[in-house]
Amino acid sequence: MSESPKFPAGPSSSSAPLHAPRCDTDDNESAHRLHYVVSNEDDAFVARCLEVDVTSDGNTEAAAVANLREALELYFDDRITQLAELPCRTYRLGQVVIRPAPP
């Protein structure tokens, strides 16, 4: 596996550490690793896949992730070629501060 690209050090200290991507398949050749983030929104946890536009929710974080896994399996059910062609990406979690213009 080639070395993953590195992000330059940002101006903010609020960025999470960079992790090497896992683009390989799992032990089972038909299994692929996809990345997700989970947030707490209102009364539910929301899990979002970073590689494709698929989102799911649940009453707990574990339920949201389980629901996301099921949604992704359904999404890729007739798109197996698209799954195999997903590019390997590296992610860095960060924050930006915005200041809306005064009224």
Domain that holds residue 41: 36-82
pTM (2 decimals)? 0.66
Kindly state whether residue 25 falls inside one of the protein's structural domains.
Answer: no
Cα–Cα nearest to 40, from 55, 54, 59: 59
Q: What is the pLDDT of residues 37-76, one digit of tens each?
A: 999 998 999 999 999 999 999 999 999 999 999 999 999 9
Are the C-beta atoms of residues 59 and 66 closer than 8 Å to each other? no
Is 59 inside a domain boundary?
yes
Domains in the chain: how many in total? 1
Does the residue 27 lie in any domain? no
Q: Is 60 exposed, middle or buried (0-12, 13-18, 19+ CB in 10 A)?
A: exposed
